[in-house]
Amino acid sequence: MQIGDRIKRKRLERGLVQKELESRSGVTQSMISKVEGGSAENVSIDVLRRLAKALNCPLIDLLPDTDKKGS
């Protein structure tokens, strides 16, 4: 599961629409849409931190499993 899929799942679990997540995170709805749709490349750590905080979850929960494993 990719970052966008994880963000969308967390957002829907919390009953939020993208506009509400924008309001809580300060990340534009356009950017949220791009991230969730998989068309945003190289999402910054700052954006991920703000989304994680707004979704009330640890940042690592938004990362794909392949990025969580040690080398």
pTM recorded for the entire structure: 0.88
Query: Looking at residue 71, what is its pLDDT?
Result: 46
- Domains of the chain in sequence order: 3-57 (1.10.260.40)
pLDDT tens for the chain, residues 1 to 71: 789 999 999 999 999 999 999 999 999 999 999 999 999 888 999 999 999 999 999 999 998 877 666 54
CB under 8 Å, gap of 24 or more: what pairs does 21-30 form? Answer: 21/51, 21/54, 21/55, 24/54, 25/50, 25/51, 25/53, 25/54, 26/50, 27/51, 27/54
